[in-house]
Amino acid sequence: MNRDKEQKAIERLKSFEPETEPYYLCYSGGKDSDTIKILAELSGVKFEAVHNLTSVDMPETVKYIKSQNDVKIHIPRNKDGKHITMWDLIIKKHFPPTRVVRYCCSELKEQGGKGRLKITGVRADESSKRKANAGMVKVIGKPKTMQKKAEEMQLDYEVNNKNGLVLNYDNADTRRFVEHCYRTTSTIVNPIIDWSESDVWEFLNHYGCKSNPLYECGNKRIGCIGCPMAGKQRRQELKRYPTYYRAYLRAFDKMLQARKESGLDGVWQSAEDVMKWWLE
Ligand code: SF4
């Protein structure tokens, strides 16, 4: 196991720890979030692990998360307190989520933890897009103000394609910057940004964590059923969970009705047409 990386990740967690409240640890029920949870325990920082239910989580994942007493489950709600589901979003947005427009992540997964300093298990080697978009620290929101502040502090930063600020140096200035901005933006610390998949598995094996049982069933990725980011795995998932397949079809049906009422073009004639397009 790579002890240097483990120590570095622990140091990162310690150095960015907020003074007055625990970290908000984004827990998905996958191997990377198990890794940051164990690292947070080892480092002795205070944290609150939270899973945001998306309504299309795999049942095995929900069971795995519920089996852990130290993970809270958060149900995303709108301003009126109504539970937001994937089905509602598909109807409201008039099209299903795609790789390019993943509205569901921001509305379902990233809703919790406002005004808190977040930690996630994002790793750069997961995809080239992540490599370009993430860093050890990522700040989203108030781009102009944050860039001005970063300039004033002479920080070495990059701007990603979503106007987020990415910082990769763990030093006193970066820490002060994080302290300054995390209340008013979405600020994320990624302690294992430079870990590989094998680093993660070696670490988990060392600490006796088998992680989500779905990995033993051959899943490479733990996410939502039908997630547009899951590539070929999506078709298998929808076959494995026919209730969700049917629920998507019902949502597509209602979405087509909503499109008609809004005067949108009839690109799709039926829910099955939408499904075919969506899975292509
Ligand atoms: S379906 Fe994929 S993109 Fe949407 S919330 Fe789930 S993980 Fe995020």
Tell me the per-residue pLDDT of 66-90, one tens digit each, with 9 for 90 and over.
999 999 999 999 889 999 999 999 9
Residue nearest atom 6 in ligand 1 by C-alpha distance: 224
- 228 within a domain of the structure (yes/no): yes
Angle between helical axes of 197-206 and 31-43 (0-180°, round to 10): 60
222 lines ligand 1 (CB under 6 A): no
- Average pLDDT over the chain, rounded to whole? 92
- Domain range for 39 is 3-134+190-232
4 CA distance to ligand 1 centroid (A)? 33
Q: How far is CA 29 from CA 25, 34, 117, 222, 275, in A?
A: 12, 7, 20, 7, 27
For 172-189, b where at least 16 C-beta lie within 10 A, e where not — what string? eebeebbebbbeebbbbb
Candidate of 109, 110, 222, 237 to mutate for ligand 1, largest count of ligand atoms within 8 Å of Cβ: 109
- 120 within a domain of the structure (yes/no): yes
104 CA distance to ligand 1 centroid (A)? 6
- 172 within a domain of the structure (yes/no): no
Residues 1-59 pLDDT 10s? 789 999 999 999 999 999 999 999 999 999 999 999 999 999 999 999 999 999 999 99
User: Is the model more confident about 250 or about 217?
Assistant: 250
pLDDT at 131: 55
How many domains is the chain partitioned into structurally?
Answer: 1
In this structure, what CATH number is given to the domain that contains residue 17?
3.40.50.620
- In this structure, the chain runs to a length of 280
227 lines ligand 1 (CB under 6 A): yes
- 269 within a domain of the structure (yes/no): no
The span from the CA of 236 to the CA of 232, in Å, is: 7
- 63 within a domain of the structure (yes/no): yes
Residues 201-246 pLDDT 10s? 999 999 999 999 999 988 888 989 999 998 888 999 999 999 999 9
Q: Which atom of ligand 1 is nearest to the CA of 225?
A: 1
Percent of the residues in the chain that have a pLDDT greater than 90, as a whole number: 76
229: nearest Cα among 129, 156, 135: 129
130 lines ligand 1 (CB under 6 A): no
pLDDT at 132 over 80: no
